Amino acid sequence: MIEVFEKAFRLKENRNWECIAVAVDLHGTVFVPTYSESLAKEFYPHAKECLQLLTKKKDVLMYMYTCSHFRDRVSTSSYLRLHDIAMYIEAHEVMDKMEVKNNEFQDFVDKPYFNVLLDDKAGFDPDRDWVALLKYLKERQ
């Protein structure tokens, strides 16, 4: 996981970008899944602190990479803000800020843009990777 962040930050520097985009899955990555209609609120260990540190970084924009309904994303966004975590509800909000546009080489209709993906379905292990990411972020401060 650390290597992915390192690569993203190197690319940002090499291309003189202002920030990177981090797509964040919620259930099974940030929160322990409830497998019900109730809003998941139990953070995995170290997830909250990592997301707080990423929120403080001016060169990182995060958005929810989830299949949750819009109303649930809004509720989750409010819950995250209570914990000092800023995460956009939709990918296009980050893509607009970064001025990422469709062109003759890329089309973001089916796959949104991101530099880093935090998702259990993509190999992120919340029991292992939050610990490593926390150490990395503290070293980069």
**Residue in the block written with tokens 């991101």:** 114
Which residue type occupies 14? N
The domains of the chain are located at 20-140
Nearest Cα neighbor of 56 from 80, 79, 78, 84 is 84
Structural domain 20-140, CATH architecture: 3-Layer(aba) Sandwich (3.40)
**Pair of tokens at residue 93:** 């909000």
Buried b (16+ CB within 10 A) or exposed e, 33-63: eeeeeeebeebbebbbbbbebbbebeebbbb
**pLDDT tens per residue across all 141 residues of the chain:** 899 999 999 999 999 999 999 999 999 999 999 888 888 999 999 999 999 999 999 999 999 999 999 999 999 999 999 999 999 999 999 999 999 999 999 999 889 999 999 999 999 999 999 999 999 999 988
